[in-house]
Structure 1
Amino acid sequence: MFHKTISNKVVLLLGSNMEIRTEHLSFAINELKNSGIKITNISKLYESEAWGFEAENFINQVIIINTSLTPIQLLNLTQKIEKKAGRLPKTKASYESRPLDIDILFVNEQIIDNDRLIVPHPKIHERLFTLKPLNELIPEYKHPVLQKTIKELKKRCTDNGFVIPLEKDTKKE
């Protein structure tokens, strides 16, 4: 008897504001690939100021993956990759500098809310550094909770921090 492999389409946000930031993002992508994750799309790199605390600027990137891992298995994997990149356990501070941060933004159109994982990520609509790369890849995707497209959320976002693409943009935003 054959078991059907379930493939989850997942959107991840990668971020780094320590050491050689772009190398940390490349490291994350390679670790995901080496773990059998299929990466189907990658946004440009974006530089932005730290959100919610004073620190070095971040480099962020959104990637879209296909995986047969469950959301919790994927969370365990991403946390393992963060730790391998040198991320220390979280302190009491709500936000702090980190060599690598991997957030699970969306899993298919699922809504997940448990003590380990909330999907869609609860602050997507407040963060321009997340919305800009999302808008590059999936502008028409409808947020399963807010029922607005990424394009609409970006337009309504009140975050006025800078978010600058590091690579020349050939499309208009």
Structure 2
Amino acid sequence: MTRVYFLLGGNIGNREELLAEAIRKMTNHVGKFIKASSLYETEPWGFSHEQNFLNQVVVFDSEFSALDILDKTQAIEKELGRVRKKTQYCERTIDIDILFFGNEQIENERLSIPHPKIQERSFALHPLAELIPNFKHPVLKTSIQMLKDECPDKLKVIKFS
């Protein structure tokens, strides 16, 4: 069993329902749901759009490999209406990113774990710090709380009620 941390996000459609549905589908296909952060509303990162994102970190224990999990989460994204575009940063119904896969470091043509831009993204660090502030990033050897405190990204991240 490996503890896996995911970042969920989306800014199209019923954002709350899509995040909840992603968690239900992940529970059926990825592993055992452990916990979730609060929801956070954030401005789009890397592009502009009239609708903000809702983001949430969710934690699962899984027996699957990281690549198997990637295949499963990409299938869930597609089921929930995600359309992959040529541009990396754009609006979407749902995005499921693997942030951490235990303490493993994985680098291949399909997957980089830990997620290579965690330290640049407040929208990932706020919910992560809520759940695991003292977790040390396996590559940077710095706590999530410290990464959040030192993050250069100044886009607003607000707890969603």
Q: Unpaired runs of 5+ in structure 2?
A: none
SS at match of 1:10: strand
Structure number with bigger Rg:
1
TM-score computed with the length of structure 1 as normaliser: 0.90
The question of whether the paired residues in 1 share the 8 Å contact of 2:30 and 2:72 is answered with: no
**Aligned mate of 2:27, from 8, 28, 33:** 33
Q: Which among 19, 23, 41 is matched to residue 47 of structure 1?
A: 41
Find the aligned partners of 2:64 and 2:22 in 1 and give their Cα distance. 17
Mapped to 1, the partners of 2:113 and 2:55 lie a distance apart of 19
Aligned length: 160
Alignment partner, residue 171 of structure 1: none
- Once the 2 structures are TM-superposed, how far is the Cα of residue 34 of structure 1 from its aligned partner? 1.8
Alignment-derived partner of residue 54 in structure 2: 59
| Pairing partner for 1:76 from 71, 74, 78 | 71
- Give the match's secondary structure for 1:13: strand
Question: Which runs of 5 or more residues in structure 1 are unaligned?
Answer: 1-6, 168-173
Tell me the secondary structure at the aligned position of residue 134 of structure 1.
Answer: helix
Q: Deviations over 1:49-102 (max 9, x none)?
A: 0000001200000001000010000000000000000111332x1211000000
Identity between Structure 1 and Structure 2 (%): 46
Shift of 1:161: 0.5
- TM-aligned CA deviation for residue 112 of structure 1: 0.5
Partners in 2 of 1:160 and 1:88 — Cα distance? 28
Q: Do residues 24 (structure 1) and 18 (structure 2) align?
A: yes
Q: Work out whether 1:8 is the aligned partner of 2:10.
A: no
**RMSD over equivalenced CA pairs, Å:** 0.8
| Displaced runs of 4 or more, over 3 A | none
The answer to whether the aligner puts 1:137 opposite 2:131 as a matched pair is yes
Matches within 5 A, 1:67-146: 67-91=62-86, 93-146=87-140
**Equivalent position SS for 2:73:** helix
